């Protein structure tokens, strides 16, 4: 990887697996949105940025210091996904899925934001999840200006732990309000220590997360993969179940992909969901 200061933007070159739409549209994050030109703007780790493709490079707004201190780690740019894709090509389906999803990366997001976002995500679709999170940040985050527009940070666990369900009424998130407050209280009080869990075994991390109301296997594994960066976590949703039923026999074990089962899951998810939509649109 090489990167250069282009005056207000950093050009990142030499990264073969860095496709913005595949990263931002694969269901792992909810605060990045593209304009009609394919430029993504979003807020992460209390900072805003825009990103765009130009030729074989990705351009990220900001300074060299911003890139080195925030975005390099956020996009996990020091991990070689080319080698990982090769390791995951254990059968015809994974060869197809990894080729189709080349450019995916697992973001290194704020742990609390991920846990809260996936509690909101249960029994929800992505547009509605985004709307709820947008209102959550507008109501309880800290405002700041970026490119002349007001943006909002994701509210801390401490901020939300001070609230009650009535205060969350503007979110229109229904029964999830009590789950959000319970999780915020556990994280704020360190009853649930997300930093410690990021260093724990997947079994222990999953068990601790599932002590929270509204956190079952799927939400726990999403929190582990996308927040705790436990790359062997394997969230099971309707799309992954469809892929397993279609391409694998009974008794499928994600340990086939260890230690990168979670990355395999993202290739599977992106392939099966995208091709299903394409086929549906053709019909």
- Using DSSP's 3-state secondary structure scheme, residue 8 falls into coil
**Can you spell out the DSSP letters for 219-263?**
HHHHIIIIIS--TT-----HHHHHHHHHHS-TT--GGGGTT-HHH
Which pLDDT value is given to residue 279?
Answer: 46
Inter-residue long-range contacts of 146-149, CB under 8 Å, 24+ positions, other chains counted:
146/48, 146/49, 147/48, 147/50, 147/61
What are the mean pLDDT values of the chain's consecutive 10-residue runs (283 residues total)?
Answer: 96 95 94 97 98 96 98 97 97 97 97 98 92 98 96 98 97 96 98 97 96 96 98 95 92 94 96 74 28
Radius of gyration of the chain (CA): 19
Which pLDDT value is given to residue 249?
Answer: 82
Question: Distance of CA 131 to CAs 62, 127, 172, 256, Å?
Answer: 27, 6, 10, 36
């Amino acid at each position: 990887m090489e990167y250069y200061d282009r005056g207000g933007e950093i050009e990142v070159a030499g990264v073969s697996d860095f496709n913005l739409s595949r990263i931002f549209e694969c269901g792992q994050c909810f605060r990045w949105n593209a304009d009609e030109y394919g430029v993504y703007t979003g807020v992460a780790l209390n900072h805003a940025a825009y990103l765009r493709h130009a030729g074989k490079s990705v351009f990220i707004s900001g300074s060299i210091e911003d890139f080195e201190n925030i975005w390099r780690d956020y996009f996990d740019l020091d991990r070689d996904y080319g080698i990982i894709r090769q390791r995951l090509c254990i059968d015809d389906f994974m060869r197809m899925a990894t080729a189709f999803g080349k450019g995916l990366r697992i973001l290194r997001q704020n742990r609390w934001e991920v846990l809260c976002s996936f509690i909101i995500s249960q029994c929800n679709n992505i547009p509605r999840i985004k709307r709820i999170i947008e209102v959550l940040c507008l109501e309880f985050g800290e405002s700041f200006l970026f490119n002349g527009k007001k943006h909002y940070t994701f509210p801390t666990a401490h901020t939300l732990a001070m609230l009650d369900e009535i205060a969350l009424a503007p979110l229109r998130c229904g029964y999830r309000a009590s789950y959000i407050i319970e999780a915020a209280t556990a994280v704020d009080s360190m009853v649930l220590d997300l930093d410690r869990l990021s260093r724990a075994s997947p079994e222990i991390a999953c068990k601790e997360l599932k002590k929270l109301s509204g956190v079952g296997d799927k939400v726990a594994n999403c929190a582990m993969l996308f927040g705790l960066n436990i790359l062997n976590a394997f969230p099971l949703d309707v799309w992954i179940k469809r892929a397993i039923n279609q391409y694998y026999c009974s008794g499928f074990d994600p340990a086939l992909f260890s230690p990168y089962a979670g990355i395999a899951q993202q290739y599977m998810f992106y392939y099966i969901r995208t091709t299903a939509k394409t086929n549906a649109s053709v019909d």
